[in-house]
């Protein structure tokens, strides 16, 4: 029995860097799991649309799909937009919606790797304050998750870690940078907790103007690709259990 198709559902953006980064991440996923068919669909702005991919898969005779939200938190898109798309999918498709990517220790590792690539070293941790800068959300569950990640990450040796948000929530990146300065951290780094470039990541970058280090977005980091496959495996596990696999 063939493995379910993995449909990665990304938000989409008018910024061409967004789709390019999503496709680079999906290529890495394919390389890690060559036996799984991996497709990409977008909710908005980019093609192919998630709905169009589902209709195409149905026309090709595919029956099992794992739909994976390319999102870091369970906010509106994961709770409303993507389920609505899946409800409108062809009835012959058996679709399981995987969990969002975060939180995950692998994502925290990817954040640290991005900081090291930007010029920090493990020896800098105790004297460096980090701003964990996310896109932001009006969903209190999503905001609480970001705060929890910052709290847990602080325990790994950083001088301090503060959450910040590019929209919908406070504090902003620049305010968190100033807070860490006032706290006495010798240097301040901004770690964007976002997957791809775009409008809000650019706002995070502007807010990092007074920081010493600005890391890159997570993008096609190998750790992110591994999380995608973890979520895919978790989503298909009930069916494997039922088959005795």
- Encode pLDDT of 130-147 as tens digits: 999 999 999 999 999 999
Residue 47 CB neighbours (<10 A): 10
Q: Could you tell me the pLDDT band of residue 243, with boundaries at 50, 70 and 90? A: very low
What is the distance between the alpha carbons of residues 172 and 206, in angstroms, rounded to a whole number?
Answer: 11
Tell me the C-alpha to C-alpha distance, in Å, between residue 114 and each of 75, 106, 109, 213, 244: 25, 12, 9, 10, 40
What are the CB-based long-range contacts (under 8 Å, 24+) for 114-123?
114/191, 114/192, 114/215, 114/216, 114/217, 114/218, 114/221, 115/189, 115/191, 115/213, 115/215, 117/215, 117/216, 118/189, 118/213, 118/214, 118/215, 118/216, 119/213, 120/189, 120/213
Q: Would the pLDDT of 191 be above 90?
A: yes
Per-residue burial over 130-154, b = 16 or more CB atoms within 10 Å of its CB, e = otherwise:
bbbbbbbbebeebbebbeebbeebb
What is the distance between the alpha carbons of residues 9 and 49, in angstroms, rounded to a whole number?
Answer: 9
Inter-residue contact 54 to 7 (CB < 8 Å): yes
What is the distance between the alpha carbons of residues 15 and 87, in angstroms, rounded to a whole number?
Answer: 28
pLDDT of residue 239: 57
Q: Would the pLDDT of 1 be above 90?
A: no
Inter-residue contact 24 to 220 (CB < 8 Å): yes
227 by DSSP, 3-state: which? helix
Q: Which two tokens stand for residue 211?
A: 């920081």
> Considering the chain, what percentage of its residues have pLDDT values greater than 70?
97
Q: Would the pLDDT of 232 be above 80?
A: yes
Q: Would the pLDDT of 127 be above 80?
A: yes
Q: Would the pLDDT of 12 be above 70?
A: yes
The verdict on whether omega for the bond into residue 7 sits within 30 degrees of 0, i.e. cis, is no
Identify the residue with better confidence: 75 or 97: 97
pLDDT of residue 102: 97
Packing angle of the helix pair 105-117, 222-243 (nearest 10 deg): 160
For 154-168, the pLDDT digits (tens) are 999 999 999 999 999
For 22-60, the pLDDT digits (tens) are 999 999 999 999 999 999 999 999 999 999 999 999 999
Q: Would the pLDDT of 244 be above 70?
A: no
pLDDT of residue 75: 83
Q: Would the pLDDT of 245 be above 60?
A: no
Q: Would the pLDDT of 87 be above 90?
A: yes
Q: Could you tell me the pLDDT band of residue 236, with boundaries at 50, 70 and 90? A: very high
pTM across the whole model: 0.94
Identify the residue with better confidence: 237 or 43: 43
């Amino acid at each position: 029995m063939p493995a379910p198709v993995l449909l990665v559902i990304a938000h989409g953006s008018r910024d061409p860097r967004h789709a390019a980064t999503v496709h680079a991440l999906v290529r890495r996923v394919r390389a890690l799991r060559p036996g799984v068919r991996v497709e990409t669909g977008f909710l908005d702005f980019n093609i192919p649309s998630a709905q169009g991919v589902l209709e195409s898969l149905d026309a090709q005779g595919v029956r099992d799909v794992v739909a994976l939200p390319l999102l870091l938190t369970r906010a509106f898109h994961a709770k409303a937009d993507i389920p609505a798309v899946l409800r409108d999918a062809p009835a012959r498709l058996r679709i399981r919606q995987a969990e969002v990517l975060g939180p995950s220790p692998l994502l925290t590792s990817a954040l640290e790797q991005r900081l090291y690539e930007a010029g920090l070293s493990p020896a800098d941790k105790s004297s460096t304050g980090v701003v964990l800068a996310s896109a932001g959300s009006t969903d209190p569950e999503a905001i609480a998750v970001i705060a929890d990640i910052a709290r847990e990450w602080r325990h790994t040796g950083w001088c301090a870690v503060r959450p910040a948000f590019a929209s919908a929530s406070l504090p902003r990146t620049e305010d968190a940078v100033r807070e860490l300065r006032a706290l006495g951290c010798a240097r301040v780094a901004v770690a964007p907790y976002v997957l791809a470039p775009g409008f809000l990541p650019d706002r995070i970058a502007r807010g990092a103007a007074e920081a010493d280090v600005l890391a890159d977005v997570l993008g096609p980091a190998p750790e992110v690709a591994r999380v995608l496959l973890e979520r895919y495996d978790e989503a298909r596990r009930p069916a494997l259990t039922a088959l005795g696999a």
